[in-house]
């Protein structure tokens, strides 16, 4: 729901950034129309029982706060479950693409429930701490993805670990997908998990390792 509101530039109605104007303000009616629209969007996304419990809340900010207070504790348990799933997910019989999609789905749900902090400095921040934190989270995801790969990808696992700096998640996925294609071509699609060969030449590998 947050993404939908952000995409329509209406999230400020629920986070308190847009204050309610006075009744005689020229912006009052326009703001009220937008408020009713946002309330309608939110209530339509709720199941019937929850919707009935919010029928008398006509302010978007109050409605959002009410739902957040009621259901935020449940999200803590979901965050715990997601962290466990992310750290234990395995490729198994899935293709690299299927394995990546399953992993990415978990990552995105975690991001929605436990987003990275945003800088609130009045002046432009120069320490790049948020970028550093995001880098740590991406590194953790690459490590979890690597750990869950089948043994046939052991060589590519080692090669990626020795890359400095490590590639981003998307670039990393592209490299592993490339290796899967190489495996399938060599095996004639009979055994996609046979021991893989390096995806870089000797000179390229030397450059990556040193």
The answer to whether the CB of 99 falls within 8 A of the CB of 91 is yes
Long-range contacts of 56-61 (CB under 8 A, 24+ apart): 59/20, 59/35, 60/13, 60/14, 60/35, 61/13, 61/14, 61/15, 61/16
Q: Would residue 169 count as lying in a domain?
A: no
Q: Would residue 136 count as lying in a domain?
A: no
Q: Would residue 199 count as lying in a domain?
A: no
Considering its fold, how many domains does the chain have in total? Answer: 1
Q: Would residue 33 count as lying in a domain?
A: yes
Hey, how many other C-beta atoms are within 10 angstroms of the C-beta on 129? 11
Q: Which two tokens stand for residue 157?
A: 């696992």
Q: Would residue 163 count as lying in a domain?
A: no
Write the DSSP assignment of 118-165 as a string of letters. ----SSPP-S-HHHHHHHHHHHHHHHHHHHHS-GGGHHHHHHHHT-SS
The whole-number average pLDDT for the span 133-154 is 89
| Predicted pLDDT of residue 47 | 80
| Predicted pLDDT of residue 188 | 58
**pLDDT confidence of 98, banded at 50, 70, 90?**
very high
Reported as a single tens digit per residue, the pLDDT across 102-137 is 999 999 888 888 888 777 777 777 778 888 888 888
pTM here is 0.59
| Predicted pLDDT of residue 164 | 80
CA dist 50 to 65, 114, 121, 205, Å? 14, 23, 37, 57
**pLDDT confidence of 86, banded at 50, 70, 90?**
very high
Q: Would residue 51 count as lying in a domain?
A: yes
| Predicted pLDDT of residue 205 | 45
Q: Would residue 1 count as lying in a domain?
A: yes
Where b means 16+ CB within 10 Å and e means fewer, 185-208 reads eeeeeeebeeebeebeeeeeeeee
Task: Identify the sign of the CA torsion 199, 163, 105, 102.
Answer: positive
Report how far residue 174's alpha carbon sits from residue 91's, in angstroms, rounded to the nearest whole number.
Answer: 16
Reported as a single tens digit per residue, the pLDDT across 5-14 is 887 888 888 8
Q: What's the mean pLDDT when you consider all of the chain?
A: 80
Reported as a single tens digit per residue, the pLDDT across 28-83 is 888 889 989 999 998 988 888 788 888 889 888 888 888 877 776 667 788 888 99
Q: Would residue 20 count as lying in a domain?
A: yes
Which residues constitute the domain of residue 35?
A: 1-72
């Amino acid at each position: 729901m947050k993404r939908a509101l952000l995409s329509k530039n209406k999230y400020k109605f629920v986070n308190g950034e847009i204050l309610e104007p006075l009744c005689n303000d020229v912006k009052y009616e326009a703001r009220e129309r937008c408020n009713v629209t946002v309330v309608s969007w939110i209530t339509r996304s709720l199941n019937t029982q929850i919707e009935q419990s919010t029928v008398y809340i006509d302010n978007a900010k109050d409605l959002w706060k009410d739902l957040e207070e009621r259901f935020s504790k449940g999200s803590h348990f979901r965050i715990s479950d997601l962290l466990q799933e992310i750290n234990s997910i395995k490729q198994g019989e899935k293709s690299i693409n299927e394995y990546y999609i399953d992993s990415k789905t978990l990552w995105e749900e975690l991001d929605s429930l436990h987003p990275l902090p945003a800088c609130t400095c009045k002046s432009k921040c120069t320490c790049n701490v948020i970028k550093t934190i995001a880098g740590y989270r991406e590194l953790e995801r690459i490590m979890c993805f690597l750990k869950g790969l089948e043994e046939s990808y052991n060589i590519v696992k080692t090669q990626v670990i020795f890359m400095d700096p490590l590639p981003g998640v998307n670039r990393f996925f592209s490299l592993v997908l490339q290796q899967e294609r190489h495996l399938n071509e060599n095996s004639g699609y009979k055994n996609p998990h046979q021991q893989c060969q390096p995806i870089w030449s000797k000179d390229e590998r030397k450059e990556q390792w040193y």
